[in-house]
Amino acid sequence: MRLSELIGENDRADQIEIAGLATDSRKVRPGYLFAAFPGARTDGARFVADAIERGAVAVLTKDDVDLPGDQIYRLAAANPRHRFATLVARFYGPQPDTIAAVTGTNGKTSVASFTRQIWQTLGHDAASIGTLGVTSRTYEYPLSLTTPDPITLHEQMRELKRRGIDHVICEASSHGLAQYRLDGLNIRAAAFTNLTRDHLDYHESEDAYFYAKARLFGEVMKPGGVAVINIDDPHARDLEYLCWGRGHKIIRVGTEEGEIRLLQSHPVDGGQALTVSHGAEVYDLTLPLVGAFQASNALVAAGLVIGNGADPEAALKAIEHLRAVPGRLEVVGRHPVGARVYVDYAHTPDALKSVLLAVRPHVEGKLVVVFGCGGDRDKGKRPVMGSIAAAHADRVYVTDDNPRSEEASRIRKDIMERCPGAIEIGDRRQAIREAVASLEKGDVLVIAGKGHETGQIVGDRVLPFSDVEEARSAIAAVSGGRRL
């Protein structure tokens, strides 16, 4: 592609052929455009000379960055990340016809999976992009970030389009939104699940965290889109006003009000019976998943599907066919006495509380929880999570999560300050084994924090570790080697 086609300018750009784009100078090849961004640890401008030496023919930088020599075509932008996202979108070309996105502290992965599943139930070829990677019936691709960088994102969009997959739902993380990774997507509908404490180590304040989420509705999605909002969240009103100002159609999902309302729910074996209204219509549904937050996530997903033109009755009835998302209140086995063992990704205070409240109606004996907190992340949530575990579980095991560069014992101590009655076992494998071994008839065990993850980050190493596999191994150990 000629640079003039990419940037909409002729001059000498018409003579320059762009072979690819890169933000890492080590990935630059002859004919590439190199984007130099200021980052948290270093400034990409430091690597411009290296990119040029490797063959870059154009460089995108902030306005105040000087380039060596005058042979390289310079693109200057006040916001190079936003400009780059739009250039990447143009370079990679057509996107799937229907693209939706979901943001929020908790529930993004579940809403993305549920939206994909509902679309598939209705006969569409659909994919989800997020924490679990790119997922569809016929194609999968692993990702290292919830919201991938623009190049990876658009490479995958092009691949999905090539495969005939016409409906895609993306998770929009606060980091991804703050760093303009999604700005080149043609998003037609966006959803908001909730906003609770998380990532304050990055955003520094709750307001900044909310503004990052709100960018999806106020800047990324073009005016006249569809906004699906969990109206029960305290931040929903502010977001609703923003969406009115942008001319978005608003679909509110809630318990007290909304275009989609959860009128009633009660637990049944392995799930919950729901009474749901959409406008004047009322539906009795069975959701094969436990927990009020799962019902909310399923209805938000249905709202996205309806917002993209589906028949409301068909979309809502499709939630009866939803399957659990890996690592999200996933039943991974049963103790020989019948006690269920769940694995969940809950790693924020609100998520942990929601999970414990979700399973409580299914507990006839004791509710047991194993959890820890990640290192190099918001330290203030550790005692809060300890307090929540102490208040909502009958027996608590505090263990290591991903300590990263921090001293693991220090993290556990921060949790234990508000959870003094907890059993402290640093070795996560041992904590899971002891928790499983302690189960009695009627008990329920929740292993929280890592969900689908298959590694534990200790220092600068990622050690193989899966809560799912460790739980099943622990169950087998108390079952005479049999996996139940």
Q: Which of 325, 327, 351 is nearest to 116 (CA)?
A: 325
**SS3 of the chain: helix, strand, coil, percent, to 5:** 35, 25, 40
Q: Helices H, strands E: what count in the chain?
A: 16, 23
Q: What is the pLDDT of residue 40?
A: 56
Residues 168-184 have a mean pLDDT of 95
Average pLDDT for the chain: 93
Answer yes or no: is pLDDT of 193 > 90.
Answer: yes
Which of the two residues, 49 and 283, has the higher pLDDT score?
283
Domains and CATH numbers, the chain: 3-78 (3.40.1390.10), 93-321 (3.40.1190.10), 330-478 (3.90.190.20)
Cβ 76 vs Cβ 9: under 8 Å? no
Task: Assess whether pLDDT exceeds 70 at residue 39.
Answer: no
Q: Of 37-46, 235-244, 453-462, which range is least confident?
A: 37-46
Which one, of 273, 233, 222, lies nearest residue 89 by Cα? Answer: 222
pLDDT digits (tens, 9 = 90+) for 196-226: 856 556 656 888 889 999 999 999 999 999 9
pLDDT of residue 202: 61
484 pLDDT band (50/70/90 cuts)? Answer: very low
pLDDT band at 11, cuts 50/70/90? confident
Lowest average pLDDT, out of 11-25, 144-158, 404-418, goes to 11-25
Q: What is the pLDDT of residue 76?
A: 87
Q: How many CB atoms are located within 10 Å of the residue 340 CB?
A: 19
pLDDT tens for 260-289 read: 999 999 988 889 999 999 999 999 999 999
Query: How many Å apart are CA 138 and CA 125, to the nearest integer?
Result: 9
**Structure tokens belonging to residue 66:** 């000087």
Q: How far apart are CA 269 and CA 288, in angstroms?
A: 9
At residue 38 the predicted structure's pLDDT band, cuts being 50, 70 and 90, is confident
Q: Is residue 407 a contact partner of residue 458, using CB atoms and an 8 Å limit?
A: no
Tokens encoding 223: 């005016």
Instruction: Give the β-pairing of 140-141 and 58-62.
Output: unpaired
473-480 mean pLDDT? 93
How far is residue 459's CA from residue 408's CA, in Å, rounded to a whole number? 10
- At 103, phi and psi to the nearest 5? -130, 165
pLDDT digits (tens, 9 = 90+) for 229-242: 999 999 999 999 99
Q: Using pLDDT thresholds of 50, 70 and 90, give the confidence band for residue 298.
A: very high
* Alpha-carbon span 170 to 185, nearest angstrom: 10
Comparing C-alpha atoms, which of 338, 295, 299 is closest to residue 315? 299
Whether 402 shows a pLDDT value over 80: the answer reads: yes
Q: Report the pLDDT averaged over residues 124-139.
A: 97
